[in-house]
Amino acid sequence: MPTLSIVVPMYNEEDAMDGFFTRVQRVLQTVTPSYEIICVNDGSRDLTLARLRAKAESDPRVKVVNLSRNFGKEIALSAGLDHASGDAVIPIDADLQDPPEVIPLMMAKWRAGAKLVLAKRRDRSSDSWLKRLTANGAYWLFSKLTDPQIPQNVGDFRLMDREVVDAVKRLPERSRFMKGLFAWIGYEAEVVEYDREARSAGETKWNYWKLWNFALDGITSFSSLPLRIWSYLGFGVSLLAMAYLGWTVAKTLIFGMDVPGYASLMSVILFFNGISLIGIGVIGEYLSRIFTEVKARPLYLVSEKIGFEAKAQSETPETAKRA
Ligand code: UDP
Ligand code: MG
């Protein structure tokens, strides 16, 4: 068993790959001779797989898990964790935005007994102001809504002891909001700070629509407040409506009927129809996720494994390639 497993999800990273291996392996050599690099090819449509295959053939420490299609970073990461066998595991991005030079610092803390070492971004100056604004907003909303507090400016780049990795692997849900899952398992964490660099090559796979859905995933997986709020809202509105009803009846009895208010009637109807639709929409968000969970499909499918020994393959029978 290697001491350290590095897990890298890769989607269309043919340009970033060479630089990645050079820099990471230069650092790893100084840390431990016993390491493995688990590359998860997340259905890339460029030469990523071919290059990974060549790399794995020339270097036994590089192992490749080829997913059957693009499953998204979070699931690719889970697939990597499932295949990592090291005593310590570090997920890292292929674009070198997580500087590998932080790895020795994390390893030092791990050797001193830490089970979980988080790499925290010192600041977000390498992001655009809009990205910073939305990120801060999302963190704020999260801290209000969800129970396990998500540490700010901490991504997937972290060191996990085998015990922590096994804990993460026990969470079966299909909607993999890793930040939340990592927070949920707890464990005392040590922190090392780092500066996030600009992407080394290629381009980001995120856009604001994806980020929005990512945030929705996070909130619905870790809070039921958006569901529960509607009964209170409905109750409050009903009270107001009763009071207004009483007032209208009394007014009509005392002063008689005046010209009916078409405009106010119309706005009230439209407003409350809007509110009801939002309520139904929120239920829909949860329902669709329940549906995904209930179908209980496997999280990912592996179409090929390169560089693993036969023993390692049989350890994950659920997802192992059919013989
Ligand atoms: N990634 C992946 N599957 C995807 C999208 C991204 O495996 O569907 C990988 C990607 O190759 C990279 C990491 O996830 O190693 C982070 O992606 P990216 O740099 O696009 O995200 P950002 O750094 O902008 O958050
Ligand atoms: Mg990146």
Instruction: Clarify whether residues 229 and 189 are in a common domain.
Output: no
Per-residue model confidence as pLDDT tens digits over 189-244: 888 888 877 776 667 777 788 888 888 888 888 888 888 888 888 888 888 988 88
Q: Does residue 250 register a pLDDT over 70?
A: yes
3-state secondary structure of 318: coil
Highest mean pLDDT among 19-33, 77-91, 141-155: 77-91
Instruction: Clarify whether residues 13 and 96 are in a common domain.
Output: yes
Give the ligand whose atoms come closest to the C-alpha of residue 199.
Answer: 2
* Res 311: pLDDT: 52
Listed residue (290, 322, 265, 306) closest to 65, CA to CA: 306
Is position 216 within any domain? no
Instruction: Clarify whether residues 267 and 203 are in a common domain.
Output: no
Instruction: Clarify whether residues 234 and 122 are in a common domain.
Output: no
Is position 137 within any domain? yes
State the residue range of the domain holding 267: 225-295
> Which of 93, 124, 209 has most ligand 1 atoms within 8 Å of its beta carbon, as the pocket-test mutant?
93
* Res 92: pLDDT: 93
For residue 93, how far is its CA from the centre of ligand 2 (angstroms)? 6
> 313 falls in which pLDDT band (50, 70, 90)?
very low
For residue 74, how far is its CA from the centre of ligand 1 (angstroms)? 9
For residue 71, how far is its CA from the centre of ligand 1 (angstroms)? 11
What is the distance in angstroms between the CA of the first residue and the CA of the last residue of the chain?
Answer: 24
* Res 273: pLDDT: 87
SS (H, E, C) 274-305: HHHHHHHHHHHHHHHHHHHHHHCCCCCCEEEE
Per-residue model confidence as pLDDT tens digits over 64-107: 999 999 998 889 999 999 999 989 999 999 888 888 889 999 99
Burial class (CB in 10 A: 0-12, 13-18, 19+), 61: middle
CATH of the domain at 70: 3.90.550.10
Give the ligand whose atoms come closest to the C-alpha of residue 156.
Answer: 1
Read off the pLDDT of each residue in 288-294 and give the average, rounded to a whole number: 89
Q: Does residue 37 register a pLDDT over 90?
A: yes
* Res 310: pLDDT: 56
Q: Whose CA is nearest to atom 3 of ligand 1?
A: 73
Listed residue (312, 305, 311, 241) closest to 52, CA to CA: 305
Residues of the chain with pLDDT > 90, as a percent, come to: 20
For residue 95, how far is its CA from the centre of ligand 2 (angstroms)? 5
* Res 317: pLDDT: 46
Per-residue model confidence as pLDDT tens digits over 105-132: 999 999 998 899 988 888 777 677 887 8
Strands 116-121 and 88-91: unpaired
